[in-house]
């Protein structure tokens, strides 16, 4: 018997269950999720103790990164933008290459100590090294062994509760939704941050147009890997309890919220696997994604939290 009490805010009233299938690897195993009627957090009813099957080393994307290091011009531009932004030469609304401005917080320098939690084999860290950041560390309990790169990046096979050190910036790029005890994780991040340090969390959010449109077929549910699909309200609750304040929220969803969700919907309903989209349809989805981000209704966001 499942307990449908929200593990974020404690509410147990009006939390209706739903059945969601695993779709990424076509297992089609079924799992019970429910959405809290109070804070809106969508969560798995009973997290699995053994998830090895659902994180295959040879197929799961975070273990097989594709570092786009060939475009040296792009990396040089990013370094210049980072330097100019930090020195005040470039305004905050300056056009930026995807995801890069999220790293350029005013109090973070290329020499700042940065930790990436749940980093896999370190794709983001390796890209940041190309941008000029020098003091980079990662932790991930699911990698096979500790990793040490010639560039100086070190990644430890470790849980956050076992890690020591002090950091100016801690990042979680689409790893927080995989963690079974989110409040404990935030408290550990608080412990590891220096005073006025920042925590940057990039996650899918369920208070979005895509979830309202596709429901259980919304691809970001990603059962059973995503244990929590947070809302701005549930993140606010956790932040307050852990001692953080939310400094900034930026929506960075893409058109996959439509293309993959459409594919999942068709596969579940009709069994069809073919989804051929015209160039016009893709452009429309891209435009819709940009509009939703402006309206704060996209399906993923970056939360910047400050230690206070």
Long-range pairs of 52-60 with CB within 8 A, sequence gap ≥ 24:
53/27, 54/22, 54/25, 54/27, 54/224, 54/225, 55/142, 55/225, 56/25, 57/144, 59/25
For residue 142, which phi and psi values (nearest 5 degrees)?
Answer: -100, -5
Q: Is 296 contained in some domain? A: yes
CATH number of the structural domain spanning residue 103: 3.40.50.150
- Residue 185's Cβ-count burial label (10 Å; 0-12, 13-18, 19+) is buried
Q: Is 5 contained in some domain? A: no
How many distinct structural domains can be found in the chain?
1
Q: Is 6 contained in some domain? A: no
Look at residue 67 in the predicted model and tell me its pLDDT.
47
Stretch 24-38: mean pLDDT, rounded? 96
Q: Is 4 contained in some domain? A: no
- pLDDT exceeds 70 at position 69: no
Q: Is 9 contained in some domain? A: no
| Four-CA torsion 239, 223, 172, 295, nearest 10 degrees | -70
Q: Is 12 contained in some domain? A: no
Spatial CA neighbour of 20 closest among 30, 11, 12: 30
Ranges 78-82, 147-151, 287-291: which has the least confidence: 78-82
Q: Is 8 contained in some domain? A: no
Stretch 96-106: mean pLDDT, rounded? 53
260 and 253 Cβ atoms separated by less than 8 Å: no
- pLDDT exceeds 90 at position 237: yes
Query: How many Cα atoms are found within 13 Å in the side-chain-facing hemisphere of 202?
Result: 18
Of the two residues 215 and 85, the one the predictor is more confident about is 215
Stretch 34-46: mean pLDDT, rounded? 97
Split at pLDDT 50, 70, 90, the class of 276 is confident
Q: Is 41 contained in some domain? A: yes
Instruction: Mark 9-35 as b/e (b = at least 16 C-beta within 10 Å).
Output: beeeeebeeeebbbbbeeeeeebebbb
Q: Which domain holds residue 66?
A: 17-307
**Euclidean distance between CA atoms 300 and 261, whole angstroms:** 14
Split at pLDDT 50, 70, 90, the class of 180 is very high
- pLDDT exceeds 80 at position 84: no
């Amino acid at each position: 018997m499942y307990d449908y009490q929200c593990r974020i805010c404690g509410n147990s009233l009006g939390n209706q269950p739903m059945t969601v299938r695993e779709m990424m690897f076509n297992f089609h195993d079924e799992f019970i999720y429910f959405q809290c009627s109070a804070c809106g957090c969508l969560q798995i009813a009973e997290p699995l103790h053994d998830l090895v099957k659902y994180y295959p080393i040879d197929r799961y994307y975070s273990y097989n990164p594709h570092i786009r290091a060939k475009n040296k011009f792009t990396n040089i531009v990013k370094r210049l933008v980072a330097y100019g932004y930090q020195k005040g030469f470039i305004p905050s609304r300056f056009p930026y290459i995807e995801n890069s401005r999220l790293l350029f917080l005013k109090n973070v320098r290329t020499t700042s100590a940065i930790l990436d939690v749940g980093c896999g084999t370190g794709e983001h860290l390796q890209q940041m090294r190309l941008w000029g950041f020098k003091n980079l560390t990662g932790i991930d309990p699911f990698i096979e062994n500790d990793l040490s790169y010639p560039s100086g990046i070190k990644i430890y096979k470790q849980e956050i509760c076992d890690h020591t050190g002090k950091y100016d910036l801690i990042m979680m790029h689409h790893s927080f939704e995989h963690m079974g005890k989110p409040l404990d994780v935030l408290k550990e991040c608080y412990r590891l941050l220096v005073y006025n340090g920042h925590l940057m969390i990039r996650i899918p959010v369920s208070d979005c147009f895509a979830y309202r449109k596709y429901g259980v077929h919304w691809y970001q549910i990603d059962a059973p890997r995503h244990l929590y699909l947070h809302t701005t309200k549930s993140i606010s609750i956790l932040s307050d309890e852990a001692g953080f304040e939310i400094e900034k929220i930026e929506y960075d969803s893409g058109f996959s919220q439509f293309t993959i969700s459409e594919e999942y919907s068709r596969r579940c309903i009709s069994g069809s696997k073919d989804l051929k989209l015209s160039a016009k349809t893709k452009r429309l989805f891209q435009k819709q994604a940009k509009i939703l981000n402006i309206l704060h209704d996209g399906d993923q966001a970056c939360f910047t939290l400050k230690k206070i």
